[in-house]
Amino acid sequence: MEMATFAAGCFWGVEAAFRRLPGVTETSVGYTGGNVADPGYERVCGGDTGHAEAVRVSFDPSKINYNQLLEAFWAAHDPTQMNRQGFDIGTQYRSAIFTHSPEQESAARVSMERLAGSGTFGQPIVTEIVPAGPYYLAEDYHQQYLEKRGRATCRVF
């Protein structure tokens, strides 16, 4: 199994999008990219931790590759919105790819450059591509939030 970590706004809908992909073996939602150890949801929402709401994906590379995960990431949100997705505003909702290897970083940059040159979006892509750091699991009630409520998505744009 390999691991990937993405931030694309509210983690509920992003997690649901990845959970549907064949080859994804596990997902979790959490907080990463900030400067506070073991933050909770309320603290992250306060905007002073630097953390993003993120989804960690475990995947079987014989069934799905990292480039396919990147395609799902781009499709799950609007990467041109700085520190927001739809009605959710703040740095915790930023678009980011947290890479776990030099190969992931390279693939993410190539993917972003290809998308930027495609004309798909009318504005520049603002997604961060940074090395993965500490990842703090979100509270249990956030895990598989939509699935627990019988919903498939919470997409707002």
Residue showing tokens 């997409």: 155
Q: How far from the centroid of its chain's Cα atoms is residue 73's Cα? A: 7
Q: What share of the chain is helix, strand, coil (3-state, %, to 5)?
A: 30, 25, 40
Nearest to 10 by CA among 90, 91, 85, 97: 85
Q: Residue 45, exposed/middle/buried by CB under 10 A (0-12, 13-18, 19+)?
A: middle
Q: Which of 4, 8, 10, 70 is catalytic?
A: 10
Q: What are the tokens at 106? A: 């390279």
45 among known catalytic residues: no
* Tokens linked to 124: 């520049």
Ramachandran quadrant class, 4 (left: phi over 0; alpha: psi -120 to 50; beta: rest):
beta
Which residues are known catalytic residues? 10
